[in-house]
Amino acid sequence: MLIRSVLVAFCIGLWFSILYTLLVVLLVLAWLLDDGYRRLWSLLKEPLVRAIGIFCFFLLLGLFWAETFAEGRHKWTKYLLLLTYIPFLGLLNRQRLPWATGAAGTGFCLVLFAGLHAWLVEQQQGIPLFNMTYLTFSALLGIGSVFLCCCACMSRNRIIQILFFSLALVLLFLQFQQSARSFLLATLVTQMTVLVIYFRVSLRAVAQIAGLLVLVAIVFAYTSPVISERWAQARFDFENIRQDYYDNSIGYRLALWDVGLQGIAEKPFFGHGTGAPEQYFDQTVVYYKNGIYANLPIFQQTSHYHNDWIEIGMHLGMMGIASFMYLLWAWYRTLEQNRMSLPAIAMVSFVFFSGLTETFLIFARMPVLLLVITAIAISWQKSRL
């Protein structure tokens, strides 16, 4: 009963930042009390478990050649939260699985209804009650929409398919009401990928599916004043960039990527060391390209590079990028081995496309949510065998 309570608390409390650290500690303690460490060798047979272990090992190894470890906001420590997948997966069995599944669904619905209240009643972005920004809420809606799309594709019941597709569209519509462009685009591209692979369509049909998604996007965007404002802001940002003013949303990202690629080129194999990239940007912009980015640390405090590949490359160079590629492959392989090829493609696609404009692996609690979904999914599949 104690283990069930910890699993339920972890799944529901995932969204309460105040309790999150305590819940992670309780999860690990519950795993140890359950003698989970004795089953660690069998868990290592899972590709995703091995990949997470290797990635985090390289991350800790990178501390040895980091020169500015004591400084900065240490956003890199959020990568270590990927390790929660190991005790969570280790605690799941046939008796505990329904409790974890119900708690995860309850937690998602709780956040969803709170977000609806914030949007409809309070007229606010994100969820102030949970201290959740519009970016985090948009990512959550995107994950939910993609998940429901996969469920619809895998269902053999036409009524269930229609229900899941309808719910996926509802979440997509809600995502259009948030100001996050990057996660919205990642959701649309991922859903198109899922539909194309599921229907195994020709190039002509691909164009038709893409056209349908574009039509849906246009309709939803037309009904969303938030999206109209964001696209207008994007045009204004590009006008400022042409005049070498980068103190705006898009300009700041372009500057981060530019400096980040320069940093990777300087130390391509092992990077600048774990924790060093934050200070590298602040020090480099003073003289890089005659200082056109020099005012950006004042515009926004540097914490990450808004791109998973550049962020990891700055920390660990090609070694880190290779371990990240292995992590994505292992994520796909773990689900594919359990006869869930379509969710595997959806999961990896969403992580990949989100990581092109955000540091998704350290973004709020979204990676942990995906790992929880992964653990529950493969446990359900194994329990059916």
* Per-residue pLDDT at 123: 86
Q: Where is pLDDT greater, at 221 or 105?
A: 105
Under 8 Å between Cβ of 54 and 40: no
pTM score, two decimals?
0.92
Q: How confident is residue 274, by pLDDT bands cut at 50, 70 and 90?
A: very high
**Helix residue spans in 121-199 (DSSP H):** 134-154, 158-176, 181-199
pLDDT at 69: 57
Output the CA torsion 215→217→223→226 (10° steps).
Answer: -150
CA 360 to chain centre: 4
φ/ψ region of 221 (left if φ > 0, alpha if ψ in -120 to 50, else beta) reads alpha
Q: Do 271 and 315 form a contact (C-beta atoms < 8 A)?
A: yes
Q: List, in order, residues 6 or more apart from 96 with CB less than 8 Å away.
A: 3, 4, 7
Residue 19: the pLDDT is: 77
Give the tokens for residue 307.
């791109």
Q: Is the pLDDT of residue 203 over 60?
A: no
Q: Residue 359 — very low, low, confident or very high, per pLDDT cuts 50/70/90? A: very high
For residue 184, which of 247, 249, 139, 240 has the smallest C-alpha distance? 139
Please list the helix, strand and coil fractions of the chain in percent, rounded to the nearest 5, in that order: 80, 0, 20
Asked if 380 contacts 97 with a C-beta cutoff of 8 angstroms, the reply is yes
Average pLDDT over the chain reads: 88
Contact 193, 347 (CB under 8 A): no
Determine which helix (DSSP H) or strand (DSSP E) holds 67, and give its type and residue range: none
**Residue 113: is its pLDDT beyond 60?**
yes
Helix (H) / strand (E) containing 218: helix 203-222
Is 80 exceeded by the pLDDT of residue 138? yes
Between the CA atoms of 44, 45, 48 and 51, what dihedral angle is there, to the nearest 10 degrees?
60
